[in-house]
Every structure is written in C-alpha cells, then in structure tokens.
Structure 1
Amino acid sequence: PRDLGEHRLSRPFGPRQLVTAVADALRRRDAGDATDLLRMGAVTLDRQTRSVTVAGRPAALTATEFDLLAFFMANPGRVYTRERLLDAAWAPGASAGSRTVDVHIAQLRAKLGEASPIRTVRGVGYAADL
C-alpha cells in the first residue's frame, strides 16, 4: 500500500528517507498498532483485513476507494487538495487526473451513504470530519 501511516514522503526523496519510512511502518504494524482499526462516526475501517463497515454492515469498496477512505480517516480535520489525494491513493506515476479524485470521492460517498465523513471544501479539495 502507498500509505505509510504518519510518515509521509514528499517527492523527491532519498533512499534513506524511504528506508526509514518503511521501517517505521513495519515497526508500527509489528507492534499491533491500534491505528489498524479506524472509526469515524458509523464508519469503521480495518487496515489489516482491508474491510469497511457502515453501522455494522459491510461496505464493498474498490482498492482505491479503500485507500482514499483510510487516508481521510487517518488524517481527520485537514483539507487536502486533489493532487495530495492522488499521491495518497494512487501509485506513483499513475496517469490519473485530478478529476479522477472527484469521481472516486462521489462513488465512495454513494457507498457510505449518510455516514460518509467526507466533505467538499470549495476551491480547495476535500476533508473528513470526526
């Protein structure tokens, strides 16, 4: 997965930064970090099983939708641009455009229904609130 938890890499980055980020992510995983289970309102996301439930019911998300939701839930309250979300949920070098983010956000909101924590910040991007 592209999400390294709290450790974010800005491009360009060096090999040492990458090794440090991966080691930190693995250390957190091995420690059974409680961040594997994220909750925001009625939405629960389990990073270990890559599953999402809404009010106790399973939600079938694509890999990209899951990665977007995991990013939002791990970083609540902040507003992110489409470009930043592309970096968070798509592979480096992916040819996805910024409008692709809008489409995936719309699909994610439809699947989460009223429980969706994602809000639009006009002229800037998107955020998720607790």
Structure 2
Amino acid sequence: MGERILLVEDDPQLGAQIVEHLQGAGFEPTWWREGRVLTAEGLPRVSLVVLDLMLPGTYGLDMLKSLRSFSEVPVLILSARNDTLDKVRALKLGADDYMTKPFWPEELIERVRARLRRPTLQKAEAVVEVGALRIDPQAHEVSVQGQPVELTRVEFALLAALARRPREAVTRQWLVEHVLDPEREGTERTLDVHVSRLRRKLGPQHGVETVWGVGYRLVPGDGS
C-alpha cells in the first residue's frame, strides 16, 4: 500500500468519494466521520491529514491547533468556508494548504501528491551544516565559518526551509506559500528580495543557488 492519509470528513457521501479516489491513487486512507480531541497517542501514523472544518464533536481548527502542539504532519484543509479570514487563520495555525468545496477530486489528489513531495518541518530539527554554513533551527542561530550571522525572521525561515533539503531545489511557489507572511501580499518578487538580502549576509562563497525555472537550493560555497 501507499502512504497513509487521515481524512476527517462528516459528509458520508463526500467522504466515501474521497476515500475511493485516495485508494484509486494508491494511498491508504483512514476515515474519521467526526472531530476528535487529538493527542500524540491518539493520532494514527499518517503522512498527511485531510481536514474538514465544520465537524460534529471537535471543530476542525481546534483539531489543527492541538495537532500542531505535538506534530508537524502536513494538513490540507477542506471547507465550504471561502472567507479570506478563515483561510488566513488556518494557515497561521499551521495548515499547509486550503481547498474550498465544491472541488474536483482529481485536483485534491494532485494537491495531496504535491504536498507529500514538499519538505516538511519536523518537530525537533537537527543542526544542518552545508560547507562552512551552520543552521541551528532549535536555537534559531546561523553561523558562517564560526561567525554568527544576524537574520530577520523571514530570512531565517527561508534559510531553514532550504536547509531541510540541502542541495535539492525547492520551488519558488512553495517558498512563497510557506515562508512569506500569509496576511501580507506574498509574491515571487518579494521572495527574490529576501533571497538577495540573505545572500549578502551569508557572503558570496556561502549560500543560496538559483535553479532556473524552479526555485532555489542551499549548496556549499567555493569558500567552504
């Protein structure tokens, strides 16, 4: 079987359709028909959570909030609520994607696949060293050849995202969606400005390489 997906959806017809499409795409879905208070012990071992918001039992955003207190498993929100404030709140609470109902099942499957291909923040991240560049996600510290580098919140988030997959390209779209502030206008041009500033702070021999047509990646520099 493929990767395990937890679906939390109270609509019996829609839930059955989603389960069928997930199975057809090679995934192994577990279907909960109501919201539950989540704990580390009660969460199944899954690679992704597909979560409705308007649920009997425990409201979807409350489930998301409690989930983020102990797990960074990716979460894709499904909701009939199309209000921007609902989307912003879900993203701020830790959702990775947001789809509004009604939707095409084929799009849902592709979003699930895309989300599973993306780097995921782990609850306890190890120190990453790429050449002479050292990133400590837990301490929120960066150094080059032992010298500390002061970064803004966005610059650090950008560098940490790239450090989770060193030497691998991360798309500009993913970085825009997951690094830039969702309450402000996040554009690829804004991302490029942050990358430019980050490069200046790290120095020309250590830093972020452009992958044309894709995005950026973190590589050891010539001076490492």
TM-score, normalization: structure 2? 0.45
Structure 1: where are the runs of 5+ without partners?
A: 1-6
Higher helix share: 1
Q: Which residue of 2 aligns with 1:68?
A: 158
Q: Which residue of 2 aligns with 1:126?
A: 216
2:146 to 53, 56, 78: 56
Q: Residues 1-130 of structure 1 correspond to what in structure 2 (within 5 A)? A: 14=52, 15=60, 20=67, 22-25=69-72, 29=123, 33=124, 35-129=125-219
State the identity as a percent: 32
Amino acid at match of 1:49: A
Name the Cα RMSD after superposition.
2.9
Compare 70-79 and 98-107 and name the one that shifted more: 70-79
The CA distance in 2 between the partners of 1:38 and 1:13, in whole Å, is: 32
Decide whether the 8 Å contact of 1:119 with 1:126 is kept in 2: yes
TM-score, normalization: structure 1? 0.72
Structure 2: where are the runs of 5+ without partners?
A: 1-45, 53-59, 73-121
Secondary structure at 2:203's aligned position in 1? helix
By how many angstroms is 1:42 displaced?
0.7
Q: Which is bigger in relative contact order (C-alpha 8 A, separation at least 6)?
A: 1
The CA distance in 2 between the partners of 1:120 and 1:127, in whole Å, is: 7
Between structure 1 and structure 2, the one with the greater Rg is 2
